[in-house]
Amino acid sequence: MTFWENIALAFKGGGGPSRPPLGRSYIGTYGGAALSGDAPFSYEGRVREAYVENAIAQRAVRIVAEAVGGAPLLSVDERVVALVGGPGSSQSLLETIAAHLLLHGNAYVQIIHGEDDQPGELYALRPDRITVEPDTKGWPVAYAYRAGEHRTRFAAQDAMGRPAIVHLKGFHPTDDHYGLGCLGAAAKAVAVHNAAAKWNKAILDNAARPSGALVYDPGVEGSALTGEQFDRLKAEMEASFAGSGNAGRPMLLEGGLKWQSMSLSPADMDFVALKEAAAREIALAFGVPPMLLGLPGDNSYANYREANRALWRLTILPLAGKILDGLSGALRNWWPDMKLAVDRDQIPALSEDRERLWRQVCEADFLSPEEKRAMLGI
């Protein structure tokens, strides 16, 4: 494509006259993906609350992302396998992309060319640092990357019309540029789960006993405590009787003071049921069966093996397919016959499905050997 053709294409809206105009998204710190409800736009704050501080959400994300990163691939060119595996890094590129899609809803992969003008490296950019720059009709023409005070602008395509940035995103019903992750759907459940954990910790810090009230009886005179007396009494209570280290310590009261215990029922003090309900909702948001996260009382699946098979069928394989299809579509500009896909025959969790299919096909006497091979993919 010549220089003047690029200029003409830019004046036409970047995507040609046949493309409809797109809406301009709100550009925020969440990568432009406006969340529903009262969810904040701070992606780092949401990740810190949900992924760093919440064991259920972190384990759910890691189960799915690590499974996608370790999924066996069909035999392809060794150069492509090296690209997908990452440039000597300990963390898989597919695992990073899967985690970005689950948490943020968007994943950006930069195609870095080698000396022979072939893709030499695929680098996953942090999605919270990326902003889509649309043209006059709303179609993306560039991606702005901000890291601190540094700002870099990546064109959507190189001089040959090949993609320079691969943008993978989850479905967002009201946004043309950015995808929607799972954090927004799990926000309230994460907040409830974290609040219940903090409440239980506060009870334990107080020697697993509910608090009480220090009642002052003014007597006949009806005099009240002065401000100085109240501050001194409060300081003595906090220093000598608060916390688990002072549990069971006798209290000496004088001047009309008496201690009134405030008892709580076991149901008020026990947040186990509330935490379990919130944990199930978190697991549901990330597509992980609660049984695989060690949550008791889940009867959705007969056993652990069925739950693991459902995880692969409903969550891991669709997510891996989305990622591999997006990478394949971009890399076909250099390798037209290239196709990245998961080798389902090498997944242990799906071995029973594979054996059942082989048995059904082999028992089908009305099929020819060629038809049986076609159904089995061999």
Q: Which is higher by pLDDT, 280 or 209?
A: 280
- Which residues face 132 on adjacent strands? 143
| Least trusted range by pLDDT, from 51-55, 98-102, 259-263, 265-269 | 265-269
Q: Which is higher by pLDDT, 250 or 323?
A: 323
| Least trusted range by pLDDT, from 143-152, 276-285, 288-297 | 288-297
- Sort residue 263 into left (φ over 0), alpha (ψ -120 to 50) or beta: beta
Average pLDDT (365-374) is 75
298 has a pLDDT exceeding 90: no
pLDDT at 219: 59
Please tell me the distance from the alpha carbon of residue 347 to that of residue 117, in angstroms, as a whole number: 35
Average pLDDT (103-131) is 89
Tens digits of per-residue pLDDT, 171-185?
A: 888 888 888 888 888
pLDDT at 206: 63
Q: Which is higher by pLDDT, 194 or 33?
A: 194
58 has a pLDDT exceeding 90: yes
320 has a pLDDT exceeding 60: yes
| Least trusted range by pLDDT, from 24-33, 130-139, 145-154, 203-212 | 24-33
Tens digits of per-residue pLDDT, 323-360?
A: 999 999 898 888 888 888 888 888 888 777 777 776 77
Q: Within its chain, how far is the Cα of 359 from the centroid?
A: 38
Confidence of residue 56 (pLDDT cuts 50, 70, 90): very high
Tens digits of per-residue pLDDT, 29-53?
A: 344 444 433 433 578 888 888 888 8
What percent of the chain has a predicted confidence (pLDDT) above 70? 68
The mean predicted confidence, pLDDT, of the chain is 76
Would you list the domain boundaries of the chain? 1-207+273-343, 211-262, 347-378
pLDDT at 167: 94
pLDDT at 28: 42
Confidence of residue 95 (pLDDT cuts 50, 70, 90): very high
Model pTM? 0.74
